[in-house]
Amino acid sequence: MSPINNLSNTANGAASTAEGNSGATAFKVESPNVRYTDDSIESSYSYDTTIVSRDASSGQLKAKPTQVQYQFRTKTHVGRVGLMMVGWGGNNGSTLTASILANKKGISWETRKGTQTANYFGSLMMASTVKLGVDEQLKDVYVPFNQVVPMVHPNDVVIGGWDINSANIGDAMRRAQVLPVDLQRRVYDDLAQLKPLPSVYYPDFIAANQEERADNLIGGTKQEQLDHLRQDIRNFKQANGLDRVIIMWTANTERYADLLAGVNDTADNLLQAIADGHEEVSPSTLFAVASILEGAPFVNGSPQNTLVPGVIDLAERERSFVGGDDFKSGQTKIKSVLAEFLVNAGIKPLAITSYNHLGNNDGHNLSAPAQFRSKEISKSSVVDDMVGANNLLYKKGEHPDHTIVIKYVPSVGDSKRALDEYVSEIFMGGLNTISIYNTCEDSLLASPLIIDLFMMTELMTRVSYRTANDADWMPFHSVLSILSYMLKAPVVPPNTPVVNALAKQRMAMENILRAFVGLAPNNEMLLEHKAFH
């Protein structure tokens, strides 16, 4: 298969970028609790937490420090990895493909302000650092996030996917009108060779205004479509010599599927519903099921309830990974930061009002009420855990007024406008109002999230753990809550609390990676300065 530098027509329209790699880290841990082998890093790790109970007679809380011993094993050989996007020809899919190509080939282009070179800004994994520790002078030492443990590099991914529209990826990129024209010219010829596979289209699940785009479809019954998708994944993996494939939903927002007993509540019922062609099995759920049955992790980047209980049940049964929902790119990310700040400062948000207008195809699809409702749900739940954490500000059942408006304005294109107003109660019944207006290039914020989700999901396929009570190594739970930083409405394992506060989500991701190499969690107590002085 030809590399991306010299693309040719390849099986399933895939863009190839590398022959695989073994990963790299920026450091080596010197500790008796860490062992490096030819193909893995193994660590022994003490996890400290606090179990709280309440005395039945006095009502007093009792806090009991608890320690659990874990062992983690991370395979270091990354191998050859593929990314298949559903909605490859959309704004996000075409932008990401063009951008990875530009980074791989070291492309630069002219702008009004001069020469611009390709980069991975906006990607947590590729453009941020984590604190490793302190040096002999007690100064902080930082390393790239992607070098704490071996990770796949986006330049090394093989890209393919499906789309309901038949446009090649070069034409899709031009249609999206996201990237500068000079950059488009430089990558068009390579991208024009890439064509998406036919996809699944159920008119009831996306807006009627998308019908004219739907000219690249898989026919047959839902069962036949499921079988077709599974074969697509197998063909892509085999044709490109891949060790593993990650599937990402980057397509249109669907309406919510009704949760029905006997239909999508268990794995067996869901599989039977597909066989019966039940109307409440959505396209995204069909892709999730196909991915799970083929052992390919599936991540839902849109707000609909793709991961119905039957999907999660099937993923647990097949020991496959799923994650979702909805890329957390701009406004919601700010909201998760600001709401956490206000509540943690003892300030009580009373009303959060969010207004958006955008002109890309996502906005066009969201102009339909059922699809907007899916987005409204994912955006509105982002403050729930922060409110629930403070019973001094909020009594039981109390919650800020939270209003979300999205309007389609074609002339705005991909340059989304967002206006947020936060009205909060402060000291002695006073009021404080914070208004934020931002213009964000929607797809240039969302595309790096696909990179982060892909890289973290791929890593988790190589990690296993065990406790003192376990004889065998086990994978993490099928629902990857570690992806929460990148998702508006993170799906978490059953009976697990949702964490939406952005700083907590990043801290969890950073410290789990540190645990994989036997390092204690980062904190800002600065006790080393007191101890050494």
Are 518 and 34 in contact, with CB atoms under 8 Å apart?
Answer: yes
Residue by residue, what is the 3-state secondary structure of 59-72? Answer: CCEEEEEEEEEEEE
Per-residue pLDDT of the chain (533 residues; tens, 9 = 90+): 333 333 433 445 666 544 445 456 789 999 999 999 999 999 999 999 999 999 988 989 999 999 999 999 999 999 999 999 999 999 999 999 999 999 999 999 999 999 999 999 999 999 999 999 988 888 999 999 999 999 999 999 999 999 999 999 999 999 999 999 999 999 999 999 999 999 999 999 987 788 889 999 999 999 999 999 999 999 999 999 999 999 999 998 898 999 999 999 999 999 999 999 999 999 999 999 999 999 999 999 998 999 999 999 999 999 999 998 888 887 788 888 898 999 999 999 999 998 888 777 666 666 566 665 655 565 567 788 788 888 899 998 898 998 888 888 888 887 888 889 999 999 999 999 999 998 888 889 999 999 999 999 999 999 999 998 888 999 999 999 999 999 988 888 887 878 888 889 999 999 999 999 999 998 877 777 666 55
Which of 459, 514, 453 lies closest to 483, judged by CA?
453
Which of 447, 531, 421, 456 lies closest to 78, judged by CA?
456
Are 80 and 241 in contact, with CB atoms under 8 Å apart?
Answer: yes
163, 325, 416, 420: the catalytic one is 416
Are 386 and 504 in contact, with CB atoms under 8 Å apart?
Answer: no
In this prediction, residue 36 carries a pLDDT of 95
Are 350 and 423 in contact, with CB atoms under 8 Å apart?
Answer: yes
Residue with tokens 């994978």: 475
Are 132 and 141 in contact, with CB atoms under 8 Å apart?
Answer: yes
Q: Where are the domains of the chain?
A: 331-442
In this prediction, residue 16 carries a pLDDT of 53
In this prediction, residue 7 carries a pLDDT of 41
In this prediction, residue 368 carries a pLDDT of 60
Is there a catalytic annotation at residue 105? Answer: no
- 350 CB burial (10 A radius; 0-12, 13-18, 19+): middle
Question: How large is the C-alpha radius of gyration of the chain?
Answer: 24
In this prediction, residue 363 carries a pLDDT of 65
In this prediction, residue 301 carries a pLDDT of 93
Is there a catalytic annotation at residue 488? Answer: yes
Are 236 and 160 in contact, with CB atoms under 8 Å apart?
Answer: yes
- 459 CB burial (10 A radius; 0-12, 13-18, 19+): buried
156, 163, 232, 326: the catalytic one is 326
Tell me the C-alpha distance between 237 and 232, whole Å: 9
- N-terminal to C-terminal alpha carbon distance within the chain: 60
Is there a catalytic annotation at residue 379? Answer: no
195, 222, 348, 375: the catalytic one is 375
Q: Tell me the pTM.
A: 0.90
Residue with tokens 């006790």: 527
Are 76 and 458 in contact, with CB atoms under 8 Å apart?
Answer: no
Fold observed for domain 331-442: Dihydrodipicolinate Reductase; domain 2 (3.30.360)
- H or E stretch at 44: strand 40-54
